[in-house]
Chain A
């Protein structure tokens, strides 16, 4: 079975706080890809990051960082010094890469709603 779990339904922080959004996934595939998307109040899903299962290096992009740990099947997302504009729903998603390699449909978590208050 393939599944993505985002246990945190809602998080509320005060501006400038650091916040970590958790993502745990399940898959039997040895090759897979993980993604994070942001969905601001406007509704459009915005791609943030893609990571393949063979690359466990952490990644930093400005105030955003991602921690991928295969041993715990987790791909957590940290926002440093949060800002009001970071308020959005954040989705973690998984796509396995089967030998057929044709279908890359995304399997989504339920999302974490982040509210950053001034």
Chain B
């Protein structure tokens, strides 16, 4: 089956502009995560969705960042008034979630490389 897909693969924008990054998870995966990764670093957690609701948005750096998942499948990460420090690779991951006490692995998309000039 298809893996996690992310669009666009690359996005170059000017400082102060608004951007939207899209994630299409693996079919049937109810959990969806956004991370961002800077060069030479591990991924940094941003937000976690269980179904349509954001179960944990504690990783969002400030109120310029917002994410939605209106139908419990595709998610969009929105960044307002972009700053040069927002430049990074934005990664989306999805996983199964069951009621049993198991943390399933997360499957990652190829990422969107955001460059703010």
Interface residues of chain A, those whose CB is within 8 Å of chain B, are 31, 33, 35, 37, 42-47, 50, 52, 91, 93, 95, 97, 101-111
Chain B residues 26 to 64 lying within 8 A of chain A, measured CB to CB, are 31, 33, 35, 40-45, 48, 50, 55-56, 59
- B106 touches A (CB below 8 Å): yes
Which one of A33, A91, A103 has the highest number of Cβ atoms from chain B below 10 Å of its Cβ?
Answer: A103
Which secondary structure dominates where chain A touches chain B? loop
Q: Report, nearest first, the 4 A-B pairs whose CB atoms are least far apart.
A: A108-B42, A45-B108, A33-B103, A105-B45
B31 and chain A: residue at smallest CB distance: A104
Query: Can you list 28 contacts pairing A with B, beta carbon distance less than 8 Å?
Result: A31-B101, A35-B105, A42-B110, A43-B89, A43-B110, A45-B93, A47-B107, A47-B108, A50-B104, A50-B105, A91-B42, A102-B50, A102-B56, A103-B55, A104-B31, A104-B48, A104-B97, A104-B103, A105-B33, A105-B56, A106-B43, A106-B106, A107-B45, A108-B42, A108-B43, A110-B41, A110-B42, A111-B42
- Residues of chain B within 8 A (CB-CB) of A35 are 105
A37 to B42, CA, bound (A): 11
Check B42 against A105 for contact (C-beta < 8 Å).
Answer: no
Partner of A52 from B35, B50, B56, B103 at Cβ < 8 Å:
B103
| CB within 8 Å for A50 and B103 given contacts A45-B91, A45-B108 | yes
A33 to B105, CA, bound (A): 9
A33 to B106, CA, bound (A): 12
